[in-house]
Amino acid sequence: MSRVIYDGQAIERGDLSVLDCLTEHGINIPSSCHSGLCQTCLSRAASGSIPARAQTGLKETQIAQNYFLACVCYPEHDIEVAMEDGVNKLPALVSGVKHLSADILGVHLKPQHPFNYRAGQFINFFKDENTVRSYSLASVPELDDELFLHVRKVPGGQVSPWMFEHLKPGDQVQITEPAGECFYVPGKPAQNILLVGTGSGLAPLYGIIRDALQQGHTGKIVLYHGSTSFGGLYLVDELRTLAQKHENFSYVPCISESAVPEGYASGMVLDVVLARQADLSGWRVFLCGHPEMVKSGRQEAFLAGASMSEIFADPF
Protein backbone atom coordinates (compact mmCIF):
# COMPACT_ATOMS: atom_id res chain seq x y z
CA MET A 1 0.00 0.00 0.00
CA SER A 2 1.52 3.32 -1.03
CA ARG A 3 1.80 6.35 1.23
CA VAL A 4 1.61 10.09 0.68
CA ILE A 5 4.30 11.97 2.59
CA TYR A 6 3.74 15.64 3.42
CA ASP A 7 5.61 17.83 5.91
CA GLY A 8 7.19 14.72 7.46
CA GLN A 9 3.83 12.98 7.92
CA ALA A 10 3.35 9.65 6.11
CA ILE A 11 -0.29 8.89 5.30
CA GLU A 12 -1.62 5.57 4.00
CA ARG A 13 -3.28 6.39 0.68
CA GLY A 14 -5.66 3.45 0.38
CA ASP A 15 -7.56 3.78 -2.89
CA LEU A 16 -7.74 7.59 -2.73
CA SER A 17 -6.07 10.07 -5.04
CA VAL A 18 -3.24 12.12 -3.58
CA LEU A 19 -5.61 15.10 -3.42
CA ASP A 20 -8.35 13.23 -1.57
CA CYS A 21 -5.84 11.58 0.74
CA LEU A 22 -4.35 14.91 1.83
CA THR A 23 -7.74 16.62 2.05
CA GLU A 24 -9.12 13.82 4.22
CA HIS A 25 -6.28 14.44 6.67
CA GLY A 26 -6.88 18.18 6.93
CA ILE A 27 -4.24 19.32 4.43
CA ASN A 28 -5.77 21.93 2.16
CA ILE A 29 -4.83 21.59 -1.52
CA PRO A 30 -6.68 23.96 -3.90
CA SER A 31 -8.91 22.02 -6.29
CA SER A 32 -11.90 22.39 -8.55
CA CYS A 33 -12.74 19.91 -11.31
CA HIS A 34 -11.33 16.69 -9.73
CA SER A 35 -10.83 15.31 -13.23
CA GLY A 36 -7.38 16.60 -14.21
CA LEU A 37 -8.62 19.38 -16.49
CA CYS A 38 -8.48 22.68 -14.60
CA GLN A 39 -4.99 22.11 -13.09
CA THR A 40 -6.01 23.93 -9.91
CA CYS A 41 -4.54 21.10 -7.81
CA LEU A 42 -1.12 21.30 -9.48
CA SER A 43 1.44 19.97 -7.00
CA ARG A 44 5.09 18.98 -7.03
CA ALA A 45 6.70 15.72 -5.94
CA ALA A 46 9.87 16.00 -3.86
CA SER A 47 10.46 12.28 -4.37
CA GLY A 48 8.70 9.23 -5.73
CA SER A 49 7.44 8.04 -9.11
CA ILE A 50 4.59 9.97 -10.72
CA PRO A 51 2.01 8.05 -12.82
CA ALA A 52 1.87 9.26 -16.42
CA ARG A 53 -1.84 10.08 -16.18
CA ALA A 54 -1.15 12.58 -13.40
CA GLN A 55 1.00 14.64 -15.79
CA THR A 56 -1.29 14.55 -18.83
CA GLY A 57 -1.71 18.04 -20.28
CA LEU A 58 1.23 19.57 -18.43
CA LYS A 59 4.04 21.38 -20.20
CA GLU A 60 7.34 19.57 -20.60
CA THR A 61 8.94 22.12 -18.29
CA GLN A 62 6.42 21.30 -15.55
CA ILE A 63 6.98 17.58 -15.99
CA ALA A 64 10.73 18.11 -15.80
CA GLN A 65 10.23 19.74 -12.39
CA ASN A 66 8.05 16.84 -11.11
CA TYR A 67 4.75 18.71 -11.14
CA PHE A 68 1.59 16.61 -11.25
CA LEU A 69 -2.19 16.84 -10.92
CA ALA A 70 -3.06 15.61 -7.44
CA CYS A 71 -6.71 14.84 -8.21
CA VAL A 72 -5.83 12.09 -10.73
CA CYS A 73 -2.63 10.87 -9.10
CA TYR A 74 -2.84 7.27 -7.85
CA PRO A 75 0.81 6.26 -7.30
CA GLU A 76 1.77 2.64 -6.83
CA HIS A 77 4.65 3.58 -4.54
CA ASP A 78 5.28 6.20 -1.86
CA ILE A 79 5.27 9.79 -3.06
CA GLU A 80 6.42 12.87 -1.17
CA VAL A 81 4.54 16.08 -1.92
CA ALA A 82 6.76 19.16 -1.70
CA MET A 83 5.79 22.02 0.57
CA GLU A 84 5.88 25.21 -1.52
CA ASP A 85 5.16 27.71 1.24
CA GLY A 86 7.92 29.77 2.78
CA VAL A 87 11.14 31.15 1.36
CA ASN A 88 14.44 29.32 1.70
CA LYS A 89 17.21 31.92 1.57
CA LEU A 90 20.61 30.81 0.36
CA PRO A 91 23.94 32.66 0.76
CA ALA A 92 25.87 33.69 -2.34
CA LEU A 93 29.06 35.61 -3.03
CA VAL A 94 29.19 38.40 -5.61
CA SER A 95 32.16 37.38 -7.76
CA GLY A 96 31.87 39.94 -10.54
CA VAL A 97 29.99 43.06 -11.66
CA LYS A 98 30.18 44.45 -15.20
CA HIS A 99 28.20 46.99 -17.22
CA LEU A 100 26.81 45.23 -20.30
CA SER A 101 25.22 48.50 -21.48
CA ALA A 102 24.29 51.83 -19.93
CA ASP A 103 21.17 50.29 -18.39
CA ILE A 104 22.11 46.61 -18.00
CA LEU A 105 24.41 45.33 -15.27
CA GLY A 106 25.91 41.86 -15.47
CA VAL A 107 26.17 40.27 -12.03
CA HIS A 108 28.08 37.05 -11.32
CA LEU A 109 27.13 35.12 -8.19
CA LYS A 110 28.72 32.08 -6.59
CA PRO A 111 26.25 30.17 -4.38
CA GLN A 112 27.83 28.98 -1.14
CA HIS A 113 25.96 25.66 -1.23
CA PRO A 114 25.16 23.18 -4.04
CA PHE A 115 22.75 24.90 -6.42
CA ASN A 116 20.81 23.01 -9.08
CA TYR A 117 19.06 25.01 -11.77
CA ARG A 118 18.18 25.14 -15.46
CA ALA A 119 19.29 27.94 -17.75
CA GLY A 120 16.45 30.44 -18.14
CA GLN A 121 14.90 29.96 -14.71
CA PHE A 122 14.89 32.86 -12.24
CA ILE A 123 16.00 33.48 -8.67
CA ASN A 124 14.93 36.03 -6.08
CA PHE A 125 17.65 38.44 -4.95
CA PHE A 126 17.39 40.09 -1.53
CA LYS A 127 18.61 43.64 -0.98
CA ASP A 128 17.51 43.29 2.64
CA GLU A 129 15.04 41.21 4.64
CA ASN A 130 12.00 42.93 3.13
CA THR A 131 13.14 44.03 -0.32
CA VAL A 132 13.48 41.40 -3.03
CA ARG A 133 13.42 41.24 -6.83
CA SER A 134 13.43 38.39 -9.35
CA TYR A 135 16.17 38.00 -11.96
CA SER A 136 16.51 35.39 -14.70
CA LEU A 137 19.59 33.21 -15.06
CA ALA A 138 21.66 33.69 -18.20
CA SER A 139 24.20 31.09 -17.09
CA VAL A 140 24.25 27.40 -18.03
CA PRO A 141 25.14 24.80 -15.34
CA GLU A 142 27.29 22.70 -17.68
CA LEU A 143 29.14 25.71 -19.11
CA ASP A 144 29.44 28.22 -16.29
CA ASP A 145 30.90 27.92 -12.80
CA GLU A 146 28.80 30.81 -11.51
CA LEU A 147 25.32 32.27 -11.85
CA PHE A 148 24.96 35.15 -14.29
CA LEU A 149 22.22 37.80 -14.01
CA HIS A 150 21.30 40.72 -16.28
CA VAL A 151 19.95 43.54 -14.12
CA ARG A 152 18.09 46.38 -15.83
CA LYS A 153 18.28 49.73 -14.07
CA VAL A 154 14.75 50.83 -13.20
CA PRO A 155 14.57 54.57 -12.45
CA GLY A 156 13.24 55.04 -8.94
CA GLY A 157 13.49 51.31 -8.23
CA GLN A 158 14.34 50.01 -4.77
CA VAL A 159 16.83 47.34 -5.84
CA SER A 160 18.39 47.86 -9.28
CA PRO A 161 19.74 51.42 -8.69
CA TRP A 162 21.28 50.18 -5.44
CA MET A 163 22.91 47.27 -7.28
CA PHE A 164 24.31 49.64 -9.92
CA GLU A 165 25.78 51.96 -7.30
CA HIS A 166 26.81 49.73 -4.43
CA LEU A 167 27.10 46.05 -5.40
CA LYS A 168 30.72 44.94 -5.69
CA PRO A 169 32.80 41.75 -5.82
CA GLY A 170 33.17 40.15 -2.41
CA ASP A 171 29.73 41.16 -1.17
CA GLN A 172 27.69 38.47 0.56
CA VAL A 173 24.04 38.38 -0.54
CA GLN A 174 21.02 36.15 -0.18
CA ILE A 175 19.10 34.48 -2.99
CA THR A 176 16.44 31.78 -3.31
CA GLU A 177 16.36 28.48 -5.11
CA PRO A 178 15.47 28.72 -8.83
CA ALA A 179 11.92 28.70 -10.15
CA GLY A 180 10.13 29.17 -13.47
CA GLU A 181 9.27 27.17 -16.57
CA CYS A 182 11.23 29.15 -19.16
CA PHE A 183 14.01 26.67 -19.94
CA TYR A 184 15.11 24.19 -22.60
CA VAL A 185 13.87 20.60 -22.34
CA PRO A 186 15.72 18.02 -24.50
CA GLY A 187 13.92 15.29 -26.38
CA LYS A 188 13.02 17.07 -29.64
CA PRO A 189 16.46 17.93 -31.05
CA ALA A 190 15.19 18.70 -34.56
CA GLN A 191 12.38 21.04 -33.47
CA ASN A 192 12.74 24.68 -34.55
CA ILE A 193 13.01 27.20 -31.69
CA LEU A 194 12.03 30.88 -31.81
CA LEU A 195 13.19 33.24 -29.05
CA VAL A 196 11.94 36.83 -28.78
CA GLY A 197 13.11 39.28 -26.15
CA THR A 198 13.29 42.96 -25.23
CA GLY A 199 15.69 44.63 -22.82
CA SER A 200 17.00 42.34 -20.08
CA GLY A 201 14.61 39.70 -21.40
CA LEU A 202 17.72 38.58 -23.25
CA ALA A 203 19.04 37.01 -20.02
CA PRO A 204 16.98 33.79 -19.97
CA LEU A 205 17.12 33.53 -23.76
CA TYR A 206 20.92 33.74 -23.73
CA GLY A 207 21.00 30.85 -21.27
CA ILE A 208 18.43 28.79 -23.17
CA ILE A 209 20.26 29.18 -26.48
CA ARG A 210 23.64 28.11 -25.11
CA ASP A 211 22.02 25.25 -23.19
CA ALA A 212 20.24 23.95 -26.30
CA LEU A 213 23.40 24.18 -28.41
CA GLN A 214 25.59 22.41 -25.87
CA GLN A 215 22.99 19.62 -25.65
CA GLY A 216 23.26 19.09 -29.39
CA HIS A 217 20.03 20.68 -30.63
CA THR A 218 19.96 20.41 -34.43
CA GLY A 219 16.79 22.34 -35.35
CA LYS A 220 16.80 26.03 -36.18
CA ILE A 221 17.34 28.37 -33.22
CA VAL A 222 16.37 31.95 -34.08
CA LEU A 223 16.78 34.86 -31.65
CA TYR A 224 15.20 38.30 -32.11
CA HIS A 225 16.26 40.89 -29.52
CA GLY A 226 14.60 44.29 -29.66
CA SER A 227 15.33 47.76 -28.31
CA THR A 228 14.20 51.30 -29.07
CA SER A 229 17.81 52.37 -29.69
CA PHE A 230 21.23 50.98 -30.58
CA GLY A 231 22.45 51.56 -27.01
CA GLY A 232 19.74 49.31 -25.60
CA LEU A 233 21.18 46.22 -27.26
CA TYR A 234 23.99 44.26 -25.61
CA LEU A 235 26.01 41.04 -26.00
CA VAL A 236 25.81 41.70 -29.73
CA ASP A 237 29.38 40.55 -30.42
CA GLU A 238 28.98 37.43 -28.27
CA LEU A 239 25.76 36.45 -30.04
CA ARG A 240 27.20 37.05 -33.48
CA THR A 241 30.22 34.94 -32.59
CA LEU A 242 27.86 32.19 -31.40
CA ALA A 243 25.98 32.39 -34.72
CA GLN A 244 29.24 32.02 -36.63
CA LYS A 245 30.10 28.87 -34.69
CA HIS A 246 26.69 27.22 -35.07
CA GLU A 247 24.99 27.05 -38.48
CA ASN A 248 21.58 26.35 -36.94
CA PHE A 249 21.62 29.51 -34.77
CA SER A 250 20.79 32.95 -36.12
CA TYR A 251 20.58 36.29 -34.34
CA VAL A 252 18.53 39.32 -35.38
CA PRO A 253 19.00 42.55 -33.36
CA CYS A 254 16.09 44.97 -33.85
CA ILE A 255 15.91 48.75 -33.37
CA SER A 256 12.56 50.54 -33.44
CA GLU A 257 12.95 54.28 -32.79
CA SER A 258 16.33 55.52 -34.00
CA ALA A 259 18.82 55.22 -36.82
CA VAL A 260 19.41 51.61 -37.77
CA PRO A 261 22.98 50.63 -38.69
CA GLU A 262 23.73 48.00 -41.28
CA GLY A 263 23.27 44.50 -39.91
CA TYR A 264 20.31 45.45 -37.73
CA ALA A 265 16.59 45.05 -38.42
CA SER A 266 14.35 48.12 -38.34
CA GLY A 267 11.07 48.02 -36.43
CA MET A 268 9.38 46.71 -33.30
CA VAL A 269 10.71 43.27 -32.53
CA LEU A 270 7.34 41.52 -32.88
CA ASP A 271 6.69 43.20 -36.23
CA VAL A 272 10.06 42.00 -37.49
CA VAL A 273 9.37 38.48 -36.23
CA LEU A 274 5.93 38.25 -37.84
CA ALA A 275 7.28 39.53 -41.16
CA ARG A 276 9.96 36.84 -41.21
CA GLN A 277 8.36 33.92 -39.32
CA ALA A 278 4.81 33.76 -40.67
CA ASP A 279 4.32 30.04 -39.99
CA LEU A 280 5.26 28.75 -36.53
CA SER A 281 3.58 25.36 -36.81
CA GLY A 282 5.64 22.86 -34.84
CA TRP A 283 7.95 25.52 -33.39
CA ARG A 284 8.85 25.96 -29.73
CA VAL A 285 8.56 29.63 -28.73
CA PHE A 286 10.14 31.60 -25.86
CA LEU A 287 9.01 35.17 -25.11
CA CYS A 288 10.82 37.26 -22.49
CA GLY A 289 10.74 40.95 -21.65
CA HIS A 290 8.15 43.73 -21.54
CA PRO A 291 4.75 42.39 -20.40
CA GLU A 292 2.88 43.92 -23.35
CA MET A 293 5.28 42.39 -25.85
CA VAL A 294 5.01 39.01 -24.14
CA LYS A 295 1.21 39.17 -24.06
CA SER A 296 0.96 40.14 -27.73
CA GLY A 297 3.69 37.69 -28.70
CA ARG A 298 1.88 34.78 -27.08
CA GLN A 299 -1.28 35.56 -29.06
CA GLU A 300 0.55 36.15 -32.34
CA ALA A 301 2.62 32.98 -31.98
CA PHE A 302 -0.53 30.95 -31.39
CA LEU A 303 -2.26 32.52 -34.40
CA ALA A 304 0.84 31.73 -36.48
CA GLY A 305 0.44 28.05 -35.68
CA ALA A 306 2.46 27.43 -32.51
CA SER A 307 0.81 25.15 -29.97
CA MET A 308 -0.03 26.91 -26.70
CA SER A 309 1.78 24.14 -24.83
CA GLU A 310 4.93 25.03 -26.79
CA ILE A 311 4.85 28.75 -25.92
CA PHE A 312 6.88 29.73 -22.85
CA ALA A 313 6.66 33.26 -21.52
CA ASP A 314 8.52 35.27 -18.90
CA PRO A 315 7.21 38.87 -18.64
CA PHE A 316 9.16 41.44 -16.61
- For residues 289 and 28, what is the distance between their CA atoms, to the nearest angstrom? 35
φ and ψ at residue 220, rounded to 5 degrees: -65, 140
| Residue range 17-23: mean pLDDT, rounded | 96
86 pLDDT exceeds 60? no
Residues 139-187 have pLDDT tens digits of: 999 999 999 999 999 999 999 999 999 999 999 999 998 888 899 999 9
- For residues 280 and 91, what is the distance between their CA atoms, to the nearest angstrom? 42
| Residue range 204-229: mean pLDDT, rounded | 98
Model confidence band, residue 190 (pLDDT cutoffs 50, 70, 90):
very high
87 pLDDT exceeds 80? no
Specify whether the CB–CB gap between 147 and 173 falls below 8 A: no
| Residue range 30-55: mean pLDDT, rounded | 89
φ and ψ at residue 119, rounded to 5 degrees: -55, 130
pLDDT at position 35 is: 85
54 pLDDT exceeds 70? yes
pLDDT at position 59 is: 86
Residues 210-219 have pLDDT tens digits of: 999 999 999 9
Model confidence band, residue 84 (pLDDT cutoffs 50, 70, 90):
low
- Please, what are the domains in the chain? 3-81 (3.10.20.30), 89-176 (2.40.30.10), 193-315 (3.40.50.80)
pLDDT at position 56 is: 92
- For residues 40 and 137, what is the distance between their CA atoms, to the nearest angstrom? 28
pLDDT at position 314 is: 85
pLDDT at position 301 is: 98
- For residues 35 and 295, what is the distance between their CA atoms, to the nearest angstrom? 29
Specify whether the CB–CB gap between 141 and 115 falls below 8 A: no
Residues 281-315 have pLDDT tens digits of: 999 999 999 999 999 999 999 999 999 999 999 88
Closest CA to 198 of 159, 238, 252, 157: 252
Average pLDDT, the chain: 94
38 pLDDT exceeds 90? no
pLDDT at position 161 is: 97
